[in-house]
Structure 1
Amino acid sequence: MIGVDLRALTQPVGIMRIMAAILTYFTTGFAMLSTLMCLSVSIIYPTFFTCKTCHRQIGASVVSWVCFGVYAGEVVLTRLRPSGQNIGFLSTLPGIMKMLETFLACLIFMSLETGQYSSFPGLQWCVAAYSLCFIFALLIILLTTAQLTSFIPFFEKVVIVYNILAVVMYTTAMVIWPLYSFRNNKRPITCTSLCPWDKLVVVTFMTIFNVIVYTLDTVYSIRLVFFVSNE
Structure 2
Amino acid sequence: MRQLLLSHPVPGVWGRWWYSGSGGPRPITKGTRGGSGPMMESSGGTHLNTSAVTSKVGIARMLQAAFGCATFSLVAHRGGFNVAYGTFCMSVWCFCFAITIFIIICEFTLFHRCLTISWGNFTAAFAMLATLMSLTAAVIYPLYIPFSCHSSGCEVRDFRISASVFAGLLFFAYAMEVFFTRAKPGQVTNYMATVSGLLKIVQAFVACIIFGALVNGSQYNKYAATQWCVAVYSFCFAVTVVVVVLSVTGRTAMMKCPFERFVVIYTFLAVLMYVSAAVIWPVFCFDRKYGSPHRPYQCSRGSCPWDSQVVIAVFTYINLVLYIVDLAYSQRIRFVSHP
Aligned to 2:263: 159
**AA aligned opposite 1:184:** S
SS at 2:332 equivalent:
helix
Call closer, same or farther: CA 1:13–1:120 in 2, change over 3 Å: farther
Aligned to 1:18: 113
* Greater mean alpha carbon deviation, residues 106-115 or residues 37-46: 37-46
Structure 1: segments with no counterpart, 5+ residues: 6-11, 226-231
Q: CA deviation at 1:200?
A: 1.7
Q: CA deviation at 1:58?
A: 6.2
From the two aligned structures, give the one with the greater helix fraction.
1
Aligned to 2:209: 107
CA distance in 1, matches of 2:220, 2:329: 33
SS at 2:212 equivalent:
helix
Cα deviation code 1:78-133 (max 9, x no counterpart): 227786574x4322222101111111111111111366111211110100000000
| Identical aligned residues as a percent | 36
SS at 2:333 equivalent:
helix
CA distance in 2, matches of 1:201, 1:137: 24
Aligned to 1:228: none
Counterparts of 1:40-51 in structure 2, within 5 Å, are 40-44=136-140, 49=144
Question: Any conservation in 1 of the 2:122–2:248 contact (CA below 8 Å)?
Answer: no
Q: CA deviation at 1:180?
A: 1.4
Question: Any conservation in 1 of the 2:226–2:281 contact (CA below 8 Å)?
Answer: yes
Call closer, same or farther: CA 1:213–1:111 in 2, change over 3 Å: same
**AA aligned opposite 1:33:** L
Call closer, same or farther: CA 1:161–1:204 in 2, change over 3 Å: same
The number of residues matched between the two structures is: 217
Higher relative contact order (CA 8 A, sep 6+): 2
Counterparts of 1:114-193 in structure 2, within 5 Å, are 116-151=219-254, 152-182=256-286, 183-191=291-299, 193=301
**AA aligned opposite 1:159:** V
**Superposition RMSD on alpha carbons, in Å?**
3.4
CA distance in 2, matches of 1:108, 1:220: 24
Cα deviation code 1:167-188 (max 9, x no counterpart): 0111111121122122325223
CA distance in 2, matches of 1:148, 1:22: 9
CA distance in 2, matches of 1:110, 1:99: 17
CA distance in 1, matches of 2:318, 2:140: 15
2:168 pairs with 1:65:
yes
Cα deviation code 1:61-94 (max 9, x no counterpart): 54433221121112112227786574x4322222
Question: Any conservation in 1 of the 2:112–2:119 contact (CA below 8 Å)?
Answer: no
Question: Any conservation in 2 of the 1:111–1:199 contact (CA below 8 Å)?
Answer: yes
Question: Any conservation in 1 of the 2:118–2:250 contact (CA below 8 Å)?
Answer: no
Call closer, same or farther: CA 1:74–1:154 in 2, change over 3 Å: closer
Question: Any conservation in 2 of the 1:89–1:145 contact (CA below 8 Å)?
Answer: no
Q: 1:94 aligns with which of 196, 200, 225?
A: 196
2:315 pairs with 1:206:
yes
TM-score, with structure 1 as normaliser:
0.77
Call closer, same or farther: CA 1:2–1:172 in 2, change over 3 Å: same
Q: CA deviation at 1:22?
A: 5.6
Call closer, same or farther: CA 1:148–1:172 in 2, change over 3 Å: same
Call closer, same or farther: CA 1:22–1:147 in 2, change over 3 Å: closer
Question: Any conservation in 2 of the 1:177–1:204 contact (CA below 8 Å)?
Answer: yes
TM-score, with structure 2 as normaliser:
0.54
Structure showing greater Rg? 2
Q: CA deviation at 1:155?
A: 2.6
Question: Any conservation in 2 of the 1:105–1:134 contact (CA below 8 Å)?
Answer: yes
CA distance in 1, matches of 2:308, 2:141: 14
